[in-house]
Amino acid sequence: MKPTVSTMATVFEMRPLEPQSFMQRLLNQHPIENAVIELNNVLASSAICSIPISEIDRIERKYGLSLTKQFGLNLEEFYAVYLNYALDDSSLSEEELADLTHLRILLQLPNQTIELLHARVGAGIYQQCFEEVIQDGVISSEERYFLSQLEQTLSLPSDLANKISEEVRSNYFARLAEEYSADARITPEEERQLQQISKNLGIKPDQATKRTLDRYKLYWVLENADLPIIEISLPLQKQEHCHWHSEDVQWFEERATARRTSYDDHYVQDKVFEEVDLQANSPAHQTKFGLLKRIDTGQLFLTNKRIIFVGRLKTTSIKLNTIGRVTAFKQGIEIGKLTGKNPLLLLKGNADVAAVVCRRLIRNA
């Protein structure tokens, strides 16, 4: 609660005047900056509504200047300081409204400047109140009325209020979505809550956020729901089912040394790939391979028993129980075998999904 005192000492602080220089004393002149200091001290020592216009005239005559012309920014600051003080409780009493009206006349501030100051000061207050209102993800009818009244109290332009509302609601949803997807998974319950909050706040996630959330929902489904069974023409073992298929897959292996004989050798020195952390919502980091050779190109099949690669040169299968890890990259997956070379399989797309499916199959096996 604001103190009820007869002066504005709680808003403006008394300041000492600048001393006259030797020449100013001889010529009976005053430091020009003392004009603003005197006005500050008048505001600090008197109730706003009790300050007469003649006080401004007295200061201007004493210093032989126009406060409006020479100290316009200082006058705007005086008004902004009191406006910010008056709005500390997000409301304006009749006394404060009267003070602001008198202060505007006293400082000779044009309407355009007043509107600008209200927008500048009020925007921060309106944003702060809006952020407090939506902390529970819901804006009740009472809260909507409060925000509407606050917009009027602050004399906030409607387009600015709408912009603040849009930004605050969007930022709140984005933070919540990031919090829910911290483990790179969105459960059905989290999806329901996000949909409800999106509806309550009247916003829709942008396309980038929607794609990310859809991806994390898919991860959860692939790890917890029944995997789809794909019918393929490839002969499979008894009780073996295919759950993933991709074409145009390139099989690479890392080589310690190699002799380059022609441009068709397919050896790549210091190839860098972007690794994806499938356990957390975190940026990818880069992993460098020393020397890679493309072995073959073909189709990739993930079954509940094997990884099968049908290449142009030959067909290769890797039993799931011989795999120690699967590393996901944006460009493909690396199969970390318990023994032997670790193939790097580059895919046209959905490498992260392939890695999630492969890890689940290995875990189940």
Angle between helices 141-153 and 111-133 (to 10 degrees): 160
Give Cβ neighbours of residue 279 (< 8 Å, ≥ 6 apart).
183, 184
Last residue of a domain, one of 167, 196, 223: 223
CA angle 120, 123, 125 (to 5 degrees): 115
Mean pLDDT, contiguous 10-residue spans, the chain (365 residues) = 50 85 72 90 91 93 91 92 85 85 92 88 90 92 91 87 94 93 95 94 90 95 95 93 96 73 56 89 84 93 97 96 95 95 94 96 93
Q: What is the pLDDT of residue 169?
A: 95
* CA-closest candidate to residue 96, choices 11, 39, 25: 11
Asked if 305 and 274 sit in the same domain, the reply is: yes
How does pLDDT run across 334-349, given as a tens digit for each residue?
Answer: 999 999 999 999 999 9
CA distance 218 to 220: 5
43 located within any domain: no
Tell me how far apart the alpha carbons of residues 346 and 342 are, in angstroms, rounded to a whole number. 13
Q: Are residues 193 and 271 in the same domain?
A: no
The total number of structural domains that make up the chain: 2
Measured CA to CA, the distance from residue 79 to residue 59 in angstroms comes to 18
CA distances 7 to 1, 38, 40, 103, 156, Å, are 16, 15, 12, 14, 28
If you ran DSSP here, which 8-state letter would residue 339 be given?
A: S
CATH number of the domain bearing residue 258 = 2.30.29.30
> Which residue range forms the structural domain that includes residue 183?
136-223
Q: Is residue 114 part of a domain?
A: no
Task: Say what the alpha-carbon torsion angle 249, 253, 259, 260 is, to the nearest 10 degrees.
Answer: 20
Which of 180, 195, 223 finishes a domain? 223
Q: Is the same domain home to 250 and 354?
A: yes
Question: Within 10 Å of residue 210's Cβ, how many Cβ atoms?
Answer: 12
* 203 in a structural domain: yes
Whether 82 and 8 have beta carbons less than 8 Å apart is answered as yes
359 and 262 belong to one structural domain: yes
